[in-house]
Amino acid sequence: MIRRILSALSNRLPCRIISDGDRPYLERYYLFTIFGVRFYLHRFVRSDPDRGCHDHPWPWALSLILRGWYWEERRSGIRTVRRLNWLTGDTFHRVILPEDRGVHEVWTVFAHRARRVKLWGFLRNEGFQTVYRVHAPSTDEAWWTTAPKGRDEPRRMPI
């Protein structure tokens, strides 16, 4: 039932596909911004790419799991996330879908402060050290104003 509701809702929302090369792993649907907080519907269709843990450019973010669950790799180890996930701007993490346990997609509501406070990037193991590599930020801060609806996005994974 919840999957049908999420599918119908995502069909009508502006959609942005986040990919690693030509492999989509996250579908981001814009919900709204209110009181300086931005809300998205996220559909993870694969694990975050294995290119190191990443941080976020906001002071905080909250992820509410609507359907499914995931493992989260952090610097301190791997943990299971089933309901809520609170992240600070200094939290380095990577979302891992437990596909071997039958989880092939995870739906969340993701909220964060609308204004960025820093750049973001990846922690990568390079030889004998861990290096922080800054990610080039998107220049399209209001992408949802021109993005296709979910039903019209050709790279969207079938639901």
Q: Assign 128 a pLDDT band (cuts: 50, 70, 90).
A: low
pLDDT for 41-82, tens place per residue? 999 999 999 888 999 999 999 999 999 999 999 999 999 999
| Mean pLDDT taken over the chain | 92
Q: Assign 37 a pLDDT band (cuts: 50, 70, 90).
A: very high
Ramachandran angles phi, psi of 137, nearest 5°: -70, 150
What are the chain's domains? 2-151 (2.60.120.10)
The residues pairing with 88 across neighbouring beta strands, listed in sequence order, are 60
SS3 159: coil
Which pLDDT value is given to residue 145?
95
Sequence-separated (6 or more) residues with CB below 8 Å from residue 52: 94, 122, 123, 124, 125, 133
Top pLDDT among 118 and 135 is at 118
Predicted TM-score (pTM) of this structure: 0.92
Average pLDDT over residues 88-110: 95
Ramachandran angles phi, psi of 44, nearest 5°: -80, 125
Asked whether 122 and 52 are in contact (CB, 8 A), the reply is: yes
